[in-house]
Amino acid sequence: MLLVGSYVALSKPLAAVFPVFLLAWLRFGIGTLAMLGWLRKPPAELPLTRPTRGLLFLQSLLGNFLFTIFMVYGVSLTSASSAGVIMASIPACVALMSWRFLGEQVPARTWLAVACAVAGILLFALGATGSAPSAAGAAGLGYALLVAASICEAAYSVIGKKLTAALSARRITSLINLWGFALATPAGLWWAWRFDFAAVPAGMWLLLLFYALAACIWTVWLWMTGLQVVPAAQGGVFTVLLPLSAALVGVLVLDERLTPWQWLAFGIALAGVLLATLPASPGNTPGNTPGNTLGNSQARPSKQP
């Protein structure tokens, strides 16, 4: 989650150099080349079933392709620190999806966390008022895109927990990246034909390499490996590091400035994260709830990380 927050923030300077769809295509292309060996099916792994293939495609579409497009466009229109505040809503989104699609029980404090996330986003947007109408309109679109990215990331986490019961972390990482590359290729080739690659500074190529490896390999493999042995409710605790990392990189590295109202919004958003992710009582954890797919899917972890 620290790596996710950092590459979310550092996508802003990259989006100023590369068109968004070209950036996504290059990211997935670098990831595919780096993980060619991971695409091979391990001998002990069962053949992919049709439902598993569907989940892999859906996870890549939402958590890889659409998350990348929404996130990069959103950060380019706003700031890395605003992405940190808005993406603090991810744990609440995970809870809502678990309740809606997996039948999990959602405690009252989680609904309070949802309210905190919404309040933090609205307060952050109000703290940005006073700019020119055109800039305010662009920021509003950016906030909406970042909310959409948060929903995609939450779906990615929920689907990922189900996939770890059937596939290794390496296979999931490589297969969803390959789907992302396929989805990004048509628009990526169109932009690549018109783009002047010689004008890109050397430092941006190094930043692109870090972004691609972090976004496609390191973060996905670490997260999927953790989900094989950690219940989803406990794993959600670590999402607090994403908004913290994104906001800190924005302030400390990209020299962004927050107003007092926006700092207050950040505090409210983080309070929502804590409410959504604090451990429940031992007898009422999501992992012990009957019919809880996320809590029980770890019963058949993959043998190969």
Place of tokens 């409710």: 233
Token readout for 13 is 């300077």
- Residue 197's pLDDT is 96
Structure tokens belonging to residue 176: 């969803």
Q: pLDDT (tens digit, 9 = 90+) per residue, 42-101?
A: 888 888 999 999 999 999 999 899 999 999 999 888 887 777 778 777 777 777 777 777
Alpha carbons 278 and 256: distance in angstroms, whole number: 30
Task: Provide the whole-model pTM.
Answer: 0.76
What's the confidence (pLDDT) of residue 160?
82
Q: How far apart are CA 192 and CA 50, in angstroms?
A: 34
Q: Tens of pLDDT along the chain (305 residues)?
A: 788 888 888 888 999 999 999 999 999 999 999 999 999 888 888 889 999 999 999 999 998 999 999 999 998 888 877 777 787 777 777 777 777 776 767 677 767 777 777 777 677 666 654 444 455 567 788 888 988 998 898 888 788 878 888 888 899 999 999 999 999 999 999 999 999 999 999 999 999 999 999 999 998 888 888 877 765 555 555 666 676 677 778 877 888 777 777 778 778 777 776 776 666 555 554 444 333 333 333 334 443 44
pLDDT for the residue numbered 132: 46
Give me the pLDDT at residue 55, please: 94
| pLDDT value of residue 126 | 65
pLDDT tens, position by position, 170-200: 999 999 999 999 999 999 999 999 999 999 9
Report the 10 Å Cβ neighbour count for 298.
Answer: 17
Sequence-separated (6 or more) residues with CB below 8 Å from residue 82: 75, 124, 128, 139, 142, 143, 146, 262
